[in-house]
Amino acid sequence: MNGKEKLKRYEQILNNIEDPMDKYAWLMDFGKNSISHVDQLKLDKFEVPGCQTRTWIIPGHLPKNKMHFSADSDALITKGLVCMLADIFSGLTLTEIKEFDLQEFDTLHLDTLLTPGRRNGVHNMLLKIKSYGE
């Protein structure tokens, strides 16, 4: 499944949940069920600037010039968001990451769900991932 297909899958999941509190619960569960990283991987160079909580996106390399991302955060909602983004971009090449249009994430309707501070954090997460593709 490519990044756009993964994004579509998350769009369907989130858009099928009507109650905003249930969406928060889904994000927190997603964060709880995602792997936490040992402190040795929570390095400053992997930290996402501008997030309200400490958040990390850790890049790795796969065969055929593809990238893998793992993520972690001190807060469950943020961890759910950053792990979802890491999943969407994992398996893409550097070129695909660079060419991914960030406006496509508008389909998740996070602007109506998240506070301005969290929306800014998500934007910074996306910029951090895109920076690994440069």
Return the exposure string of 81-120: e unless at least 16 CB atoms fall within 10 Å of the residue's CB, then b.
bbbbbbbbbbbbeeebbeebeeeebeebebeebbeeebee
pLDDT tens, residue by residue, 70-79: 999 999 999 9
Banded model confidence at residue 48, pLDDT cuts 50, 70, 90: very high
Average pLDDT over residues 19-43: 88
Q: In the chain, where are the structural domains located?
A: 3-132
Whether the per-residue pLDDT at 29 is higher than 90: the answer is: yes
CATH number for the 3-132 domain, one of 3.90.1010.10, 3.50.50.60, 3.90.1150.10, 3.90.480.10?
3.90.1010.10
